[in-house]
Structure 1
């Protein structure tokens, strides 16, 4: 069984909407492209490394349309990768899938994602916030790479929506901060649900 890795860019208030550009998801949101001023060499290298070994992309409809209009016309390492690997698209409609290697997923998203996981070694989810929220709710992921940027927007779609379910995650490696203040966090899906405790219990008494 392969692995599903989610790559997410978020603000300190965990807004994940339209980090890449002003036209990415403009409806009711005026901060499109908020990530661009915060990219530096450290964050760029982290993003590059996250795609190593990718053999399939799992995308939502909006992200797919953006990618399909852009990457086939580029000539760099990312374009070579994205143009070569299979692209799986989660959409309730009938998108134009003219980008080579593209397939629309069936109506049962959870089953379709499980089939993709059985078929590939390293499936990467990019952008696609609605899809990401579904995968988080269904716990259909193995790793969550989260870049937290040092800004607060106060508006926009959040990474974790009102339908989020209690989930335990394990930090896979120490956090790394980039020169412009973005913190990279890599988590793996852990067993069980979040526990509770009592901070007034003796073992939590800081005076002892």
Structure 2
């Protein structure tokens, strides 16, 4: 059975909104693009390796629309990898599925269970609303957090109130990059968080 890996870019205060830059949904967000000052070649190589390891993408509709507007035909390894793999869009609405190999998934929980039977490593990028469903259903195998050394004090949070309590263990030691980002990888553990 395949695994679902969640990849998130997050500030020290837990904000995930508009990390790469402004989009139609975030056009008035003051700090859109907050991750860009911390990019460097070494973190780019790691990001590329992570993208290459994926054999499917699972995205919420908003993230899909952002990716669909930018990634198709990009002349780099990440763009080619995203073009190559099947893309699944978790949405109950009617997303525009114009990016090659895109398919709608109307029931995220059932859909992910099916996808795990067909793919080895499914990656979710962004998609904060979808993430809550994946946690609630116990479908996340690994969380890869790209942590950036900035506090912006506003915006959509990674784990808002009501996120299902879940426990994790480190999958590997943290890795820091010259530009300031730190990559944290965690594997989900069964059972509720322990307290003491």
Q: Which TM bucket (shorter chain)?
A: over 0.9
User: Deviation at 1:192?
Assistant: 1.8
RMSD: 1.5
CA contact (8 A) 1:13 1:153 kept: yes
Residue 150 of structure 1: aligned partner: 149
Q: Aligned equivalents of 2:20 and 2:104: distance in 1? A: 24
Count of aligned pairs: 196
Q: Which runs of 5+ in 1 are unaligned?
A: 198-208
Residue 168 of structure 2: aligned partner: 169
**Are 2:191 and 1:192 aligned?**
yes
Residue 77 of structure 1: aligned partner: 77
Instruction: Spell out structure 1 runs of 4+ moving beyond 6 A.
Output: none
CA contact (8 A) 2:172 2:185 kept: yes
Q: Normalization by structure 2: what TM-score? A: 0.94
Q: Looking at CA atoms only, which structure, 1 or 2, has the larger radius of gyration?
A: 1
Within 5 Å, which residues of 2 pair with 1:106-185? Answer: 106=106, 108-185=107-184
CA offset digits 1:34-84 (Å, max 9, x no partner): 111111123222212222331110011111112212222322211221111
Q: Normalization by structure 1: what TM-score? A: 0.88
CA offset digits 1:64-112 (Å, max 9, x no partner): 1122122223222112211111110011210111211111102x22111
CA contact (8 A) 1:8 1:146 kept: yes
**Are 2:37 and 1:59 aligned?**
no
**Are 2:29 and 1:38 aligned?**
no
Q: Which runs of 5+ in 2 are unaligned?
A: none
